[in-house]
A and B are shown apart, each in its own frame.
Chain A
Amino acid sequence: MAGKPKLHYSNGRGKMESIRWLLAAAGVEFEEEFIETKEDLEKLRNDGSLLFQQVPMVEIDGMKMVQTRAILSYIAAKYNLYGKDLRERAWIDMYVEGTTDLMGMIMYLPLQPADTKEKNLALIIERATNRYFPVYEKALKDHGHDYLVGNKLSWADIHLLEAILMAEECKPGILSAFPLLQAFKERTSNIPTIKKFLQPGSQRKPQMDEKSLATVKKIFGI
Chain B
Amino acid sequence: MRYNDKELQALSRQPAEMAAELGMRGPKKGSVVKRRLVKLVVNFLFYFRIRFGPIGALLLEHCRVIHEEPNSFSISFLEDPERKYHFECCSEEQCQQWMAALRQASYEFMRRSLIFYRNEIQKMTGKDPLEQYGISEEARFQLSGLKA
Instruction: Please indicate whether A and B come from the same complex rather than being unrelated chains.
Output: no
Residues of B with Cβ closer than 8 Å to A? none
